Structure 1
Amino acid sequence: MQTILSHISQEIGEGIASYRSIPGGDISSAYQLQTETKKYFLKVNTNPFALAMFHAEQKGLQTIEKTKTIAIPHVYVVGSLEGKSFLLMDFVEAKRPDANDFRQFGTQLAQLHRCTQKDFGFLSDNFIGSLPQSNRLHPDWAEFYWHERISPQLKLAYDHQLLHKKEIPSLENALPVFREIFGVVKPSLLHGDLWAGNYLISTDGTPYLIDPAAYYGHSLVDIAMSKLFGSFGQSFYDAYHEINPKSENYSQQIELYQLYYLLVHLNLFGSGYYSSVSSVLRKYFT
């Protein structure tokens, strides 16, 4: 750890006065670093894929940062030393959000989702949790969602005997369902993994996004994830939909986008998520 701290000190041009371990996520160890002028947040991971994961996180955060729509912790250093990969960013002093904070958050996320490009996907692949996430560009949203999101997770679940072959829809079954329910979709810049652990409200009320799995997709993907394990405050959704109104097939779209995250959880954490995945598959593809 001392080697990493010395390297960081050189990179930021300041001495590290102190550091301490803090809660920071399921995948990496987290630390708060204190210099004479400010606090930093440091993530450290010894997994072989960690450096690629941190570089992908940096790209996602920087892409969101450039939109000037919603705050992110600025990234200062990404590197690897002595078998440990690390990422250094701003430390955000957080508070418990109130209705006004959620309203501002909803408004700013809607503004982020107004950022667009020609195709669906991203400039590079990244990760969803610790699983690789392919972001090859597609002009068609239904095809992107099948080939880059649902199909790889179905294959992974089948390979690990978490799903039976008869439960897995084919391309020919899935695409017509997706096209009918999704309709015409415009690419939006997404956080990509927007659950309650991946945002912060700072003590001055500023919403921050953290740990993105960014790409350009349907804006409701972020909304679907936010609703999967509980939900954000109602003022968040009210403010969001004032800018991006609900679609005609809103509820069905939410369920189909939650399917991706349920499959991810099935593949990461096992059969406890089987019934939820199976329920969605039976509803839409049998």
Structure 2
Amino acid sequence: MEEILAHISHVLGEKITSHRPVSGGDISSAYLLQGSGRRYFLKVHGSPSAKQMFIAEQQGLQAIEATGTIAVPHVHIVDSLGGKSFLLMDFVESRRPGESDFRRFGRELAQLHQCTRSCFGFGSDNFIGSLPQSNHSCDNWADFYWKERIAPQLKMACDRRLLQHGEIPSSEMALELFSELFGEVKPSLLHGDLWGGNYLIAADGTPYLIDPATYYGHSMVDIAMSRLFGGFATPFYDAYHEIIPLPENERSQIDLYQLYYLLVHLNLFGGGYLSSVTAILRRYF
């Protein structure tokens, strides 16, 4: 750790005067660093894929940051040293959100989703949790969502004997259903993993997004994930949908977009998520 801190001090040109462990690193060790004039958040991990995961996180945060719509912690360093990879970003002092904070958060997320481009995907692949997430460019949302999101997770679940092949819909069936229920979709810049642990409300009320799995996709993907485990108050949705109205097939879209995240959790954590996955598969296929 001392070697990493010395390297950080050298790169920043700023002495790190203290550090202590904090929560918030999820699968990594996390530390609060005190510099001579500001505080930093450091994540450290020793796995072989850690640096690539941190690079992907940096790329996602920078893509969101570049839009100027909603805040993210600024990333200062991604590097490896002594067999460990690390990511250094600004530390955000957070507080419990109130109604006005949720309204601002909803507005700013909608503004992020209004940042579009001509195709779905992202400039590089990244991760959803610790699982790889492919982002090959595609002009059609139904194709992208099946080939880049649902099909790979279904295959992984079958390979791990968590699902049976007979439970897997055909490509033709899935693409027909997706095309019907999703309709015309514009590629929006997404957070990509928007559960309640991946946002902060700063002490001054500024909403921050953290730990993204960023790509261009349907804006309802972020809304569906936000509704899966809770943590978002009604004013958040009210403010969001004042800018981006609810789609006609809201319930079906939420189910099918939550299917991706439930499959991810099934593949990461096992059978506790099986009944939720199979319920959606049976309902729609």
TM-score scaled by length of structure 2: 0.99
Kindly indicate whether the alpha-carbon contact (under 8 Å) linking 2:32 and 2:40 is maintained by their aligned counterparts in 1.
yes
Give the whole-Å Cα distance in 2 for the aligned partners of 1:163 and 1:230: 26
- Give the drift of 1:146: 0.2
**Secondary structure in 2 aligned to 1:77?**
strand
Kindly indicate whether the alpha-carbon contact (under 8 Å) linking 2:195 and 2:230 is maintained by their aligned counterparts in 1.
no
Aligned to 1:246: 246
Do residues 256 (structure 1) and 256 (structure 2) align? yes
Task: Output aligned runs, 1:79-228, within 5 Å.
Answer: 79-228=79-228
Identity of aligned residues (%): 68
- Give the drift of 1:25: 3.2
Give the whole-Å Cα distance in 2 for the aligned partners of 1:125 and 1:169: 25
- Which residue identity does 1:56 align to in structure 2? A
Give CA-to-partner distance per residue, 1:8-34, whole Å, 9 cap, x none.
Answer: 001111111000000013210000000
**Secondary structure in 2 aligned to 1:88?**
strand
- Which residue identity does 1:74 align to in structure 2? H
**Secondary structure in 2 aligned to 1:132?**
strand
Give the whole-Å Cα distance in 1 for the aligned partners of 2:24 and 2:262: 23
- Give the drift of 1:97: 0.3
Gaps of 5+ in 2: none
Give CA-to-partner distance per residue, 1:202-222, whole Å, 9 cap, x none.
Answer: 000000000000000000000
Give CA-to-partner distance per residue, 1:78-133, whole Å, 9 cap, x none.
Answer: 00011100000000000000010000000000000000010000000000000000
TM-score scaled by length of structure 1: 0.99
Give the whole-Å Cα distance in 1 for the aligned partners of 2:214 and 2:197: 16
**Secondary structure in 1 aligned to 2:127?**
strand
- Give the drift of 1:269: 0.2
- List, as ranges, runs of 4+ consecutive aligned residues in structure 1 with deviation greater than 2 Å: none
Give the whole-Å Cα distance in 1 for the aligned partners of 2:69 and 2:26: 28
Give the whole-Å Cα distance in 2 for the aligned partners of 1:75 and 1:26: 17
Give the whole-Å Cα distance in 2 for the aligned partners of 1:257 and 1:231: 18
- Which residue identity does 1:232 align to in structure 2? F
- Give the drift of 1:230: 1.9
**Secondary structure in 2 aligned to 1:31?**
strand
How many matched pairs? 285
- Give the drift of 1:231: 4.2
- Which residue identity does 1:32 align to in structure 2? L
